[in-house]
Amino acid sequence: MTKVPPLADLLDSMHVVSIPMQVRFRGVMHREIAVFSGPSGWGEFSPFLEYAAPEASRWLAAAIDAAWQSWPSAVRHTVPVNATVPAVAAADVPAVLARYDGCGTAKVKVAEAGQSLADDLDRVAAVRETMGAAAKVRIDANGGWSVDDAAAAITRLSAYDLEYAEQPCASVEELVDLRKALARNGIDVPIAADESIRKATDPLRVARMGAADIAVVKVAPLGGVASALSIAADAGLPTVVSSAVDSSVGIAAGLALAAALPDLPHACGLATLELMAGDVVGDSLVPQSGSIEVRRPEPSTELLHEYRANPERTAWWRQRVTDCHAHLTA
């Protein structure tokens, strides 16, 4: 476990930014992020606003890991990445995909609250039409379906040749039941687990119960690069590294994990800066010809100033770091 530095060391070097989103994300149009520096570089702390200290403290552990520890050796220097298509109207799909340079894989959000399966079908159809038959298309339901709804939806969406379906149901037990239902119906769409790994007290339960074919791993909620790498190895499943709509500081940690994995059979979900209208570094970690170079850019003083959060939100984040630090040191 990473040694937790004194709280003052975190707060003294912390910058809080509020970066506009290109599209609405988790109900907000600004992504709030805290970054701070340590002896090894910069770390990012950006748990979603609704997360309480017990869950958010794992994100703080990951930020501390980035700023105070060394990352494992890389076995590759670039990481293939996917485009991400939010739950937009089908007509908006080409404009979203145009932001991603050379990506041959797309992850499409489905099961959005207030939308229907018809909306999902139209969106996935638009992605397939825009990208062509050779592209890989995966869907992400964020646990939004029941087993029956997931089986019905995936059966219909499978007409668009899905690479896999990410977190179609919320619980591990439901994922097990869904895989059985799909097999009975002759639907050959692999299942990937995300929330069932990153939000679980036992992230390896998915693998033990045979609930997924693929593990989606995020550095921040799993406590850092070394911890996430260990979980990926112990799970023994093909791994996709994803971000949580981070700045380039957070994406650099995801790239470090993806670069250290022995095998990387799928494109990773690390090209999420295209969803944002800004960044804290001048040379952002964005795809070129479908991949991102493994490197670690540093925040720009000018950009930290340009996107700095207002005093009220900065105070809120300072208190959040204080609460999470207390949880880590308890």
Structural domains in the chain (count): 2
CA pair distance 83, 192, nearest whole angstrom: 17
201 in helix, strand or coil?
coil
The pLDDT of residue 99 is 93
- Contact status, residue 211 vs residue 175, Cβ threshold 8 Å: yes
The pLDDT of residue 26 is 76
Q: What is the pTM of this model?
A: 0.95
Both 106 and 227 in a single domain? yes
Both 93 and 65 in a single domain? no
Does the residue 2 lie in any domain? no
Q: What is the 3-state secondary structure (H, E, C) of 44-112?
A: EECCCCCCCHHHHHHHHHHHHHHHHCCCCCCCCCEEEECEEECCCCHHHHHHHHCCCCCCCEEEEECCC
Both 29 and 156 in a single domain? no
Instruction: Decide if pLDDT at 16 tops 70.
Output: yes
Q: Is 194 annotated as a binding residue?
A: yes
Does the residue 283 lie in any domain? yes
In Å, how far are 94, 106, 123, 181, 268 from 97, measured between CA atoms? 5, 8, 12, 32, 16
Mean pLDDT of the 209-223 span:
97
CA pair distance 101, 118, nearest whole angstrom: 28
The pLDDT of residue 235 is 96
Both 95 and 186 in a single domain? yes
Instruction: Decide if pLDDT at 28 tops 90.
Output: no
Both 92 and 237 in a single domain? yes
Both 252 and 271 in a single domain? yes
Q: Is 195 annotated as a binding residue?
A: no
Percent of the chain past pLDDT 70, that is, above it, reads: 99
CATH number of the CATH domain containing 184: 3.20.20.120
With bands split at pLDDT 50, 70 and 90, how would you rate the model's confidence at 200? confident
Strands (E), the chain: 15-25, 28-38, 41-45, 78-80, 83-85, 105-109, 136-140, 162-166, 191-193, 214-218, 239-242, 291-293
pLDDT, tens digit, 9 for 90 and up, residues 180-194: 999 999 999 999 999
Does the residue 194 lie in any domain? yes
Mean pLDDT of the 15-32 span:
91
Instruction: Decide if pLDDT at 25 tops 90.
Output: no
Full residue range of the structural domain in which residue 28 is found: 7-70+301-329
Instruction: Decide if pLDDT at 2 tops 70.
Output: no
- Contact status, residue 260 vs residue 4, Cβ threshold 8 Å: no
Does the residue 120 lie in any domain? yes
Does the residue 307 lie in any domain? yes
With bands split at pLDDT 50, 70 and 90, how would you rate the model's confidence at 108? very high
CA pair distance 231, 64, nearest whole angstrom: 18
Burial label for 158, CB within 10 Å (0-12, 13-18, 19+), is: middle
In Å, how far are 110, 126, 153 from 119, measured between CA atoms? 8, 11, 11
Does the residue 1 lie in any domain? no
Percent of the chain past pLDDT 90, that is, above it, reads: 95
Q: Give me the residues paired with residue 111 across strands.
A: none
Both 200 and 311 in a single domain? no
Q: Backbone phi, then psi, for 180, in 5-degree steps?
A: -65, -45
Both 113 and 193 in a single domain? yes
With bands split at pLDDT 50, 70 and 90, how would you rate the model's confidence at 52? very high
pLDDT, tens digit, 9 for 90 and up, residues 219-262: 999 999 999 999 999 999 999 999 989 999 999 999 999 999 99
Both 40 and 174 in a single domain? no
Both 50 and 106 in a single domain? no
Does the residue 226 lie in any domain? yes
Catalytic residue annotation: 109, 218
Both 111 and 170 in a single domain? yes
The pLDDT of residue 297 is 97
Both 148 and 48 in a single domain? no
Does the residue 48 lie in any domain? yes
Q: Which two tokens stand for residue 154?
A: 């995936």
Mean pLDDT (the chain) is: 96
Instruction: Decide if pLDDT at 1 tops 60.
Output: no
Q: Is 65 annotated as a binding residue?
A: no
The pLDDT of residue 174 is 98
